[in-house]
């Protein structure tokens, strides 16, 4: 029986019990294990925390400063140091877990097994559509002679980053919706063979909005498909977004991010002319559209070929038809590259 070596960076997944949601998010992003191992001060295992737990907390109204304590899964699956590869894989697969903490006889955490390091990514037959037809006016002069999705970030076009990330998660079929300088995008990516994927194109005669181009598809996809704006750089896991959509039986899913904005002034609360309270520079929190979606093929029946439509309008139309539309709260790094400052930030983050 060959012993299974734990990942050498497993300690990045350790998180103290008194941590906040913000610290948990940083832990998940820094370790890339999709799990945080919550420990007592003496290093003994307390429980585990996943991004799904954090998403549920955010939907319940918790803030980034909230304690993780109520979200921690106590008494998770663990394995002793003596378990070999066959036993670990059998336990993971039979219980549907992707990570297994390793503990010694005193419940001290000594390692972590990660299934995704052993298995190749799941092949996804689902289509991914990337909206790449915008003119990028706010990014001029960068976009005067170059379509925004081809603007380089860390040495390669933004659109290439999106395709490569999706390919790493098993996606192999792409449709690029193009308009402004679309021939340059088509010349660069061709049929996708260079990247080991299949790429076809939707060519807009005029701008149709962030959803309108989807109505140009000649054939309805057979399965739910992912849609992304061509200027969104993110570490979101497209496969998990798709699985989330399927589990909830939704017609359309929108990835959203928590946005916090602090009022620059003290706010006076009034009732008529009477002062009833004060708030010193209050923080407003809301979910914003992250520009990544999953749509059921039947959602296209609510669109007309060639009509202009933005994605929020499509969601509103689906809601009006009593179809279920849901949000996918994300906490992964995300950047909408719409302005020169955003481009500078993207380059610094990717370098």
- Between the alpha carbon of residue 244 and those of residues 117, 130, 180, 254, 329, the distances in Å are 22, 20, 33, 11, 10
- Whole-angstrom Cα distance, residue 185 to residue 208? 18
- CATH number of the domain where residue 16 is located: 3.10.580.10
> Could you tell me if residue 5 is inside a domain?
no
Residues 80 and 133 in one domain: no
DSSP letters along 115-146, please? Answer: GGGTSPPPPEEEEEEEE-----GGGTTTTSSS
- Whole-angstrom Cα distance, residue 38 to residue 49? 7
> Could you tell me if residue 178 is inside a domain?
yes
Contacts (Cβ under 8 Å, ≥6 apart) of 192:
163, 174, 198, 199
Residues 279 and 339 in one domain: yes
Structure tokens at 163: 């395709």
In terms of pTM, does the model score above 0.75?
no
Residues 107 and 130 in one domain: no
Tens digit of each residue's pLDDT, the chain (351 residues): 333 445 567 888 899 998 999 999 988 888 877 888 999 888 889 989 988 889 889 888 898 899 998 998 888 888 887 776 667 777 888 888 888 888 888 888 888 887 776 566 668 999 999 998 877 677 677 777 788 888 888 888 889 999 999 998 889 999 999 888 888 999 999 999 999 999 999 888 887 887 888 888 878 888 999 999 888 888 888 988 998 899 889 999 999 987 767 777 888 888 886 678 888 877 777 778 888 999 999 998 888 877 888 899 999 999 999 999 999 988 777 676 656 565 666 666 665
Q: Of 117, 145, 165, which one is at a domain's C-terminal end?
A: 117
Contacts (Cβ under 8 Å, ≥6 apart) of 191:
198, 199, 200
Count up the domains in the chain and report the number. Answer: 2
Catalytic annotation, residues: 281
Domain that holds residue 170: 124-350
Contacts (Cβ under 8 Å, ≥6 apart) of 270:
276
């Amino acid at each position: 029986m060959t012993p299974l070596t734990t990942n050498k960076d497993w300690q990045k997944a350790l998180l103290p019990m008194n941590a906040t949601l913000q610290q948990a998010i940083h832990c998940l992003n820094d370790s890339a294990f999709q799990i945080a191992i919550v420990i007592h001060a003496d290093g003994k295992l307390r429980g585990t925390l996943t991004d799904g737990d954090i998403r549920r907390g955010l939907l319940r109204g918790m803030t980034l400063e909230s304690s993780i304590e109520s979200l921690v899964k106590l008494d998770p699956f663990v394995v002793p140091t003596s378990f070999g590869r066959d036993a670990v894989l059998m336990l993971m697969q039979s219980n549907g877990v992707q990570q297994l903490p390793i503990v010694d006889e005193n419940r001290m955490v000594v390692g972590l097994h990660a299934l995704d390091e052993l298995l190749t990514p799941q092949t996804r037959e689902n289509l991914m559509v990337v909206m790449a037809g915008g003119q990028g006016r706010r990014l001029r002069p960068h976009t005067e002679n170059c379509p925004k999705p081809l603007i380089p970030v860390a040495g390669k076009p933004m659109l290439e980053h999106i395709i490569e990330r999706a390919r790493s998660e098993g996606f192999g079929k792409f449709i690029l919706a193009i308009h402004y300088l679309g021939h340059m995008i088509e010349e660069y990516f061709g049929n996708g063979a260079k990247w080991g994927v299949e790429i076809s194109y939707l060519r807009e005669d005029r701008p149709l909005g962030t959803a309108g181009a989807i109505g140009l598809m000649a054939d309805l996809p057979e399965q739910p498909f992912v849609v992304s704006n061509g200027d969104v750089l993110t570490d979101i896991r497209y496969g998990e977004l798709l699985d989330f959509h399927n589990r909830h039986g939704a017609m359309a899913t929108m990835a959203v991010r928590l946005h916090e904005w602090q009022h620059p002034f003290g706010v006076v609360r009034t009732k008529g002319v009477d002062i009833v309270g004060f708030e010193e520079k209050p923080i407003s929190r809301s979910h914003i559209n992250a520009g990544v979606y999953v749509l059921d093929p039947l959602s296209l029946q609510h669109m007309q070929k060639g009509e202009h439509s933005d994605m929020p309008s499509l969601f509103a139309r689906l809601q009006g038809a009593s179809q279920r539309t849901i949000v996918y709260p994300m906490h992964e790094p995300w950047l909408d590259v719409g302005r020169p400052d955003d481009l500078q930030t993207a380059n610094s983050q990717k370098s």
